[in-house]
Structure 1
Amino acid sequence: MSGLTPMMQQYQQIKAAYPDTLLFYRLGDFYELFFEDAQVASRELEITLTGRNCGKEERAPMCGVPHHSAQGYIDRLIRKGYKVAICEQTEDPAMATGIVRREVVRVITPGTVTDSSLLDEKQNHYLAAITLTGSKWALAFADLSTGEMSVMIQSEESTVETLLNELGRIRPGEILADAVNDTTLNNEDAASPLQRLHKWSQGAGIFLTDARSYREMALSDKTYERLYRQFQRPETIAVLEQLSDKAIETLAVLYEYIESTQKRTLEHFTHIQLLVHQKTMVLDLHTRQNLELTETLRDKQRKGTLLWVLDKTKTAMGGRMLRRWVEEPLLDATAINQRLEAVTYFLDHPLIRQDIRKLLQSVYDLERLIGKISFQTANPRDLLALKQTLINIAQVQNRLGSSTGSQLIDQQMGLVDPKETLIDLLDKSIHEEAPLQIKDGGVIKEGYHQEIDELRSAAKEGKQWIATYEKNERDATGIKNLKTGFNRVFGYYIEVTKSNVQLIPEYYQRKQTLANCERYITDPLKDLEAKILGAEEKAFLLESRVFSDIRDVLKTHIADLQQTGRAISTIDAIAALAETAFQNRYQCPKVENHSGITIRNGRHPVVEKTLQHHQFVPNDTTINQQQRFIHLITGPNMAGKSTYMRQVALIVLMAQMGSYVPADAAHIGVVDRVFTRIGASDDLSQGQSTFMVEMSEVSSILRSATHRSLIILDEVGRGTSTYDGLSIAWSVIDYLHENIGAKTLFSTHYHELTELEETFAGVANYRVAVKEKSHEVIFLRKVIEGTSDKSYGIQVAKLAGLPEEVLEEAKAILNVLENRFDASQPPISIFEKRQECVKVKAPASQILPQVHPLPQHTRNSQIHYKKLKNYLGSIQDLDVMTMTPLEALNKLYELQKESINLLENTLSDQEEQNKSIRIP
């Protein structure tokens, strides 16, 4: 430090306090970065890297950006996951003695972004804090742009999986957690909560910040007291009193981090929402992804999702509210029916719905406007937007009236306060054509502030004032050649020739004597000079103070404005659901606390919307919780099994979020969870194969589901060998039937599973109807009772465009495989069958290669298959409920020996077959 220049010493001191940030150091009209920060910024922003003498022999690497355009560069760095500290000059350079004082005025991180260019207007941007102690955890999160803060209480059944699911729902930009940069992290148990959080956040592209230092500050710096001072509303104090010490500590860390990075007032944080999962449905990550609720699986886009279909909101805050409803369906039938009743009101009153939606179109994002006001970043046009918003909210209130007959709508409108006094204040004070920035002037309306009006007049009409004063003085003194002038030494003056000196009044003060004239000043002239000189600059400074005073007045109404914003966003979401229902012919579901699901002519909301040249084929669904609650669905690929199962899940979720549904009628019993296992993919980041991912998801479902759940399982077991997969699928159905009793849709290509309908009273067979015509298959998309005896894989392959030669050979091989275990057919090898197929389709002149036939050992396979069938039948016939423990052990020993013999015989036969294969 001793070898550095004073400026670089100041830079290093400030940088030492913010080591994990890129320091934007203000020098004149530029923000400069030095040393490693400069190298990083030069690379990431693609700007020139230069250097600066810093007092040592070597030059410090340096790069910079203009302060007036810095926001764009900062945004790019934040998107890449960097933190940026803004260091400003905090004293006037003209008044400074020595180096100008500088301080960091704000730290911008991936979770504390408030700039609108980085935010999705219809999605919250959260900063989250986590406390992890073993399997115990606490979660708090906040949106700085809106002032929302929430805390989640861990229930007895909550696990780390629950925490990850919640993080997947809110998708924070940044997570505060202890030891995230610990070098020992990679050596920890892969299943530890911290390790799982670390891997999950990396896969999700979420920035992790080590919270240990902030936790120390929270515990030692009376953050708890500040927390209670910040949230003084009685209902918020009541929430704090319900929290555990761990939850309070997590909130304190979150608050400490926000306060230390923002370095400004946080008035818009007025309440804390307590998340209780007994009121809303928990949707795990896989279910949210598989059902494509808010983003598509393939390209992570909004188009093609359930939210894309439903979101007809007119305001940004209404869009965020509807998104929360999609991700958090309700569990209470009363609350669900209140929303449905509200949607019905808007459907039954189309003119009111149209008027409300038209008014809402001119309502700006009130929640984020309040955030700007709190942070003192609201510009003049933001205040004009606030005025227009409050005017339109008042009109919404008048249009709906005080009693609509809908309990939810009336309740929300009772919370609305359009603040007529604020409308009046903003109308009188802010000019309708105010510029974007206060520094451009012309913000305060004429007539609002007398001194500003005078300063503006001085700036615009100063010359006229001096000319008028000069004329008045001529008339008063009788000196016809009296004139006014100006110089830089003593400003405005009155000049009189020496021949008229005797006419000078006593109140004239001599200022300068020249050869032919005398120059004087007067007090009135100096008053005019004071108004004229620097009038524009003074007007700007005074405008800035008055504008800040207006923002301070608005701050006192933040809590009420937030309440109004939440109510209006609810009205917007309800009206949007009504508009969607009207446009798409949705019907009101009947939602009750019973256990069944009945859907008549249900449709997939997204697929139906994307079909352009075809009409969607609807399907009925009846799931009786007491009987036939597991639907085993067979049918060919591409026939619509997955679409059908997804549509049932989506209809249930839509009903429980309070939306009309795509069906002619629906009677929905409230489900506590929806689980899905659809699709197959490797998880390379976790080192898991397709089958491992599948089994992990099924395992999680079987551990978490209850008899009130809805489970969607698509082709469980297909990721491994046929017999392994069949066995797993069989046992999963057995477990669901005997131990859980959940409503289940289970699609499969294992036709052997259809025999379970005869074994389990709760299993019912369904199939997707197809029509065969001239060796082709037509998908009818209709789900009917019964079983499918074919998978039609070759026909589907033909539709996909496989070469004809491949299809013909596939048919030949399929015939062989189908006959291998058919005792009525003579045994024949695959190569022999292939030879026959080739002879049939080959030209007469073509000489076919000789294929040596395989030994006639296929009969052995047939015998093994019969033994296997008898073996499985003996297991099925066991009456385990009447067996003694000793009998059970003996029987288990016998079955084990028999299974080993079957396996050895099968492997021996397979080995013999492999040896006999000779390729020509």
Structure 2
Amino acid sequence: MAPTPPSQKPGQASISAFFKPKSSPSDITKFSQPDPVQNSSSSNGKARTSSSLDAGSASASTQPPLKRSKLSNDDEKPRRETIDRMGKWKFMPVKVSSSQVDELDPATSQEEPARSQKEQDRHEAFRKKLLGSNFAVDRHARNQMQIEQMSSRDPFSPGEARPSTGAEDEAIVVDGDHDDDDDDEGPSSTNRFGQFAAAKSSSAAASSSSKTKAKGKAKAKANDTDSGPTYTPLEKQILELKAAHPGVLLIIEVGYKLKFYGEDARIASKELNIMCFPERNLLAAMIPVHRLHIHVKRLIQAGHKVGVVRQIETRALKAASKNANTPFVRKLTALYTASTWIDDLSSSDDLAANMGDAYTNQPKSLMAIVEQSEGGNGPEDRVSIGIVSVEVNTGHLTYDQFSDGHARSELETRIAHLAPAEVLVPPKLTRPTEKVISYLLGSGAEGGVRIERLAAKPDYNQAFQAVTHFYRDRGLEAEASATTEEDPTAPSATAAAGDASSSKSTPFMSLILSLPHLSLIALAQIIQHLEAFQLESICTLSTNFRSFSSRTTMLLNSNTLANLEIFRSADEQTERGSLIWLLDKCKTAMGRRLLRKWVSKPLTDVDRLEERLDAVQALRDGKSYVLRTLPNLLHGLPDLERGLARMTYGRATPTELATVLLSLNRVTQEFKADEAATWNTRSSLIDTHLTSLLCGKQPVQKYLNQISIKEARANNKPDLFPDPDLYPAIQASKDNIAIVDTELREHLREIRKLLHRPSLDYVSVAGVDYLVEVRVADAKKVPVEWLRVSATKSMVRFHTPEVIRLTKVRDQHRETLDAAADEAFAAFVGEMCRTEYVALRNVVASLGVLDVLLSLAEVASSAGYTRPTFVATPDGESVPVEIHGMRHPILELVSPLPYIPNDIALSTPTSTRAILLTGCNMGGKSSVVRTLGLLVIMAQLGSFVPATSARLGIHDGVYVRMGARDAMFAARSTFMVEVSETADILRSVTARSLVVLDELGRGTSTHDGVCIASGVLEWLLARERAPNVVFITHYLQLGEMERRFARKVRNMHMAFVETSPADFAEFGGLDDDDAATGHIEFLYKLRAGIASKSFGIHCARLAGLPEGILKSAARVSAQLEQRHRRALERKRHALLRRVFAPQLDAGAVEALHRLVAARETG
């Protein structure tokens, strides 16, 4: 036996004795193989095992001592610099006897003893412990291997639950969380000090137990390696959360971090441009806690459904519970999509550019769509469609049920008005509906509208039962008697409601049960969907319900909104250049939203129109001091509508509550009720809304007096309510904290006596409170049981056992106080919303109306604007239009050239119902008809118009079909789009409609186009109750309609001045191009008669076509005109010969023919 080295005690082997060089390259791969499972005790570098070896026993069963230490730097020992050199070292068997130690010398030992399977397993386990996560080369190789394995394994993906495996269920894990999560799953700092002290006092007793546990852990890990990955408790919790919430991208709170895991991490890395890295068995990505709302908004705008998982246990309460050593309990606490995201009041205005365009940032809505076949040419031709749309930011709920044709134009119109950000649809829709939704809304994954399909086909009976139970559970009981005319399955719904029929009906429930049947199904889907977001309370407020279709408003279809550029310009696809851009001078978010609704739905009630115009005129004149104070009153107001919605959902913070109440208090205190007689506003509408402001004064003051504004602005819920009797639970928790503070002060007196330092006081360092600080020289005098926390060169800081105990108790009371304060605040806001929501909502609504009226008054103050005059007409009669000096309201602002005004008249005693408008290309035809449409809409929403005078009847619809476009994704050609949109117009028009058709038929051949255009115009003119029509065309053949329908249509054209080539010959030095083709000067004025040409070549020259092409076109045009003229001459000559041949000779007939031709040309 070789002698033991002097530095080594007998019976003890050094760590270098367990390594020997090897020449087999096969072990290199084995050594560098990444370990998919890392024990947290080994990863933090603190796992140790120790035992003693009996020097005289050859079969010792105890393990040799293992300790993390650096290998010797002796020259005869290899250096660990590369993987190749590291591969020369091999870990020896764990069982080592003193005789085996003697044989470790390379000079004397040539063969390696054979290992048993048990020894091999133990060898692998200890190799991992010794070289696991702290060895740089092996750690790098393991990370690369984990990334490759995770990419192929895909632990879980959104929308899928990970299947359970036996390896997961039977895995034995030592620690629950990662080493970088110690701040989360581990105890608090105070608890660590206590545990450290306890561990220090009992270390000797626990040494033998730790040896046994270490053996068991290593053996279990070696056995689990073959059966699959071993998940830590945190990872198991994450997988369970993903399985419970399929299709949701989860952001999980882990300690003081927010993390994504698995496929969610990969998606977040792509969308947010953040790092994605392997962490144990899952991929992970991380974001800062304070930027959560920013990243959530980016994810939902990309079309994702995002959930936030929070730790619902606090450190102090968890430390005091029985499950202190288990992972924190985590639950889904918030769920977001694009339609359910509610900005707080401190964020930018919802109409300001988060995505770059105010049009795209109008209040986003959640829409549910339900359809039912009506038959027709096929099962998918005509359908009944029911919709319900909710604007979560404002609480508005819109419902409708309508019949729609194959083109689904009615559905397209409602989508254009309601602008959904998320749509709920049944599992299967008809193909036309699917095409329209796909074409209009796009895909959420590509930044479009998010579409969520329901798990099952909706059923009316189930929907009826769900809705009645929902409102009954909230105290809104009703008699379950539903109208059954629209759905033959409805009678069974009454029975499905159960005992609801015996309850007392309320007006609100009567409204709910009177909804159309498909709308009721859609409402049930909306309620069920919002419950997952905890936003269903918005459906319990009757003031938020409104019907999309109304007899008192005009419905503008999607084509009219686009062609007249109501909400966005056609060129830039932005709000600039649109009608809403012109009219929006509002100072509040409530006013901007209301103005959008007024513009999209102009009034058809003369009395309400005159009331609005009176208010606009009064505000424009500004003769009352009350009216002059309104702009300053509205300036700087927050989004009170959104604030009320957040309060209703329970999402408001104390700061937001104070902001809303203070703002409402300011506007309600501005005017006095006893001064109402002196307001002299000359507008009943303004007086009504000023009175509404006064009605909100009392409830606002009532709740404002119950809170501390200072504490509310600091978001300090525990001190928010000055009255301690208002919420006794808060005061009880404060009393308990005060008792602990008193005990801490009493304990400080004991410490002063013990240390003989009367002026000693507690200190706080690095967030650790109640430290006892003593000088280094006196540190040995403190009691042994005191826990040393930190030290400097001159001072040492301790925690006494009593301080540790009391701070634990105090932390528990503080967390109880926070919970009581949260509950009290929620109860306070909930009570206010239940009792005073209607009054507060009326105040906010009145502020919105006053803001819109002020905006329209500012527009009316522009130069050249006049108040329109409305004429009442009997039903069935055509609506008169007589406008003098009308100007395009947008072009005169954005164009550097002056706009040429025009006069137009329809259905007046001196004019016809229809105009056939022809003229040159770029002559101003489309501009004139757009001006007419815009002025009609502006007048009927209550605005002044840019004209010298305007006398109008009340139109029930404005239908505009202009331009040429295809719908490739909807499988419709340009001509198909033209005729489909025209067909929709013809089905919808009445005698009180305004119809504008621009160049119908240009999407097909000239012959077919003339036939279609002629047929449509004739159909409109032949109606007994014909609408007002402006028909633009380049088909000059249609000019004969004036002769056929003399009292119904007249020809008009856009005036121009043409200079012929012969005229150029009289002048010298003119352009050769003009001399060849003539020159056109547009006058942009409406004139009677039909145009002679369209002058397309002149337009082509302005567009910049090469001159060679223009000359060729002019030559072909001249040839075609000459051919057409000769054909007409032949027909005329043949007709004259047939008529006059019996009476005249051939020479006389020829002379007559020349005379007629000369008269036509001259």
TM-score category (smaller protein): 0.7 to 0.9
CA–CA separation in structure 1 for the residues paired with 2:464 and 2:244: 19
Select the residue among 185, 202, 221 that pairs with 2:442.
202
Superposition TM-score, scaled by structure 2 size: 0.61
- Give the match for residue 562 of structure 1: 841
How far did 1:370 drift?
0.9
Contact between 1:295 and 1:301, CA under 8 Å: does it hold in 2? yes
Contact between 1:634 and 1:768, CA under 8 Å: does it hold in 2? yes
- Give the match for residue 244 of structure 1: 516
Matches within 5 A, 1:348-427: 348-349=621-622, 352-395=626-669, 397-398=671-672, 401=676, 404-416=681-693, 417-423=695-701, 425-426=703-704
SS of the aligned residue for 2:532 comes to: helix
Contact between 2:559 and 2:960, CA under 8 Å: does it hold in 1? yes
Select the residue among 235, 245, 260 that pairs with 1:33.
260
Contact between 1:434 and 1:443, CA under 8 Å: does it hold in 2? no
Matches within 5 A, 1:649-688: 649-688=933-972
Contact between 1:231 and 1:237, CA under 8 Å: does it hold in 2? no
Unaligned runs of 5+ in 2: 1-163, 169-230, 353-360, 374-382, 478-505, 773-784, 787-802, 874-878, 1065-1077, 1138-1162
Contact between 2:269 and 2:285, CA under 8 Å: does it hold in 1? yes
Contact between 1:203 and 1:685, CA under 8 Å: does it hold in 2? no
Q: Which stretch shifts more, 445-454 or 143-152?
A: 445-454
How far did 1:362 drift?
2.4
- Counterpart AA for 1:701: I
- Counterpart AA for 1:91: E
CA–CA separation in structure 1 for the residues paired with 2:888 and 2:547: 34
Deviations 1:783-826 (A, max 9, x none): 12222212232333333344444434433332222211222xxx
CA–CA separation in structure 2 for the residues paired with 1:867 and 1:211: 73
What stretches of structure 1 move > 6 A for 4+ residues in a row? 155-159, 445-456, 487-493, 528-543, 864-870
CA–CA separation in structure 2 for the residues paired with 1:285 and 1:723: 30
- Give the match for residue 636 of structure 1: 920
Select the residue among 741, 752, 757 that pairs with 2:1042.
757
CA–CA separation in structure 2 for the residues paired with 1:315 and 1:158: 41
1:622 corresponds to 2:905: yes
Matches within 5 A, 1:795-806: 795-806=1098-1109
How far did 1:577 drift?
0.8
- Counterpart AA for 1:165: T
Contact between 1:126 and 1:141, CA under 8 Å: does it hold in 2? yes
Select the residue among 208, 216, 226 that pairs with 2:470.
226
Q: Percent identity?
A: 28
How far did 1:320 drift?
0.3
CA–CA separation in structure 2 for the residues paired with 1:533 and 1:261: 32
Contact between 2:763 and 2:771, CA under 8 Å: does it hold in 1? yes
SS of the aligned residue for 1:13 comes to: helix
Matches within 5 A, 1:458-537: none
- Give the match for residue 865 of structure 2: 586
- Give the match for residue 167 of structure 2: 3
- Counterpart AA for 1:366: L
- Give the match for residue 337 of structure 2: 109
- Give the match for residue 811 of structure 1: 1114
Deviations 1:466-496 (A, max 9, x none): 79x99xx99xxxxx99666569999899xxx
Distance 1:211 1:785, change over 3 A: same
- Give the match for residue 887 of structure 2: 603
CA–CA separation in structure 2 for the residues paired with 1:108 and 1:210: 17
How far did 1:749 drift?
1.6
Distance 1:237 1:343, change over 3 A: farther
CA–CA separation in structure 2 for the residues paired with 1:149 and 1:199: 25
SS of the aligned residue for 1:716 comes to: coil
How far did 1:80 drift?
1.1
- Give the match for residue 269 of structure 2: 42
Select the residue among 406, 411, 418 that pairs with 1:170.
418
Q: Which has the higher contact order (CA 8 A, sep 6+)?
A: 1
- Give the match for residue 579 of structure 2: 306
SS of the aligned residue for 1:127 comes to: strand
Deviations 1:382-434 (A, max 9, x none): 23421342133225544994664423223333433333453465477344596
- Give the match for residue 564 of structure 2: 291
Distance 1:160 1:349, change over 3 A: same
CA–CA separation in structure 1 for the residues paired with 2:1133 and 2:1006: 17
Matches within 5 A, 1:101-140: 101-115=329-343, 119-120=350-351, 123-134=362-373, 135-140=383-388
How far did 1:310 drift?
0.6
Contact between 2:1058 and 2:1080, CA under 8 Å: does it hold in 1? yes
Distance 1:674 1:531, change over 3 A: same
CA–CA separation in structure 2 for the residues paired with 1:535 and 1:230: 34
Distance 1:125 1:699, change over 3 A: same
Aligned length: 777
Q: Which stretch shifts more, 81-90 or 377-386?
A: 377-386
CA–CA separation in structure 2 for the residues paired with 1:445 and 1:15: 38
Contact between 1:713 and 1:746, CA under 8 Å: does it hold in 2? yes
Select the residue among 850, 855, 865 that pairs with 1:571.
850
CA–CA separation in structure 1 for the residues paired with 2:1026 and 2:250: 59
How far did 1:864 drift?
8.4
- Counterpart AA for 1:208: I
- Counterpart AA for 1:209: E
CA–CA separation in structure 2 for the residues paired with 1:292 and 1:865: 48
Distance 1:202 1:809, change over 3 A: same
Select the residue among 960, 981, 996 that pairs with 1:697.
981
How far did 1:138 drift?
1.4
Distance 1:699 1:203, change over 3 A: farther
> What value does the CA root-mean-square deviation take over the aligned residues?
4.2
Matches within 5 A, 1:713-792: 713-739=997-1023, 741-761=1026-1046, 762-772=1048-1058, 775-792=1078-1095
SS of the aligned residue for 2:946 comes to: coil
SS of the aligned residue for 1:331 comes to: coil
Contact between 2:960 and 2:996, CA under 8 Å: does it hold in 1? yes
Matches within 5 A, 1:247-326: 247-262=519-534, 266=538, 269-271=541-543, 272-326=545-599
Contact between 2:1051 and 2:1088, CA under 8 Å: does it hold in 1? yes
How far did 1:770 drift?
1.6
- Counterpart AA for 2:441: S
- Give the match for residue 82 of structure 1: 304
Contact between 1:231 and 1:270, CA under 8 Å: does it hold in 2? no
How far did 1:352 drift?
4.3
CA–CA separation in structure 2 for the residues paired with 1:543 and 1:68: 23
- Structure of greater Rg: 2
CA–CA separation in structure 1 for the residues paired with 2:769 and 2:287: 41
CA–CA separation in structure 2 for the residues paired with 1:560 and 1:766: 56
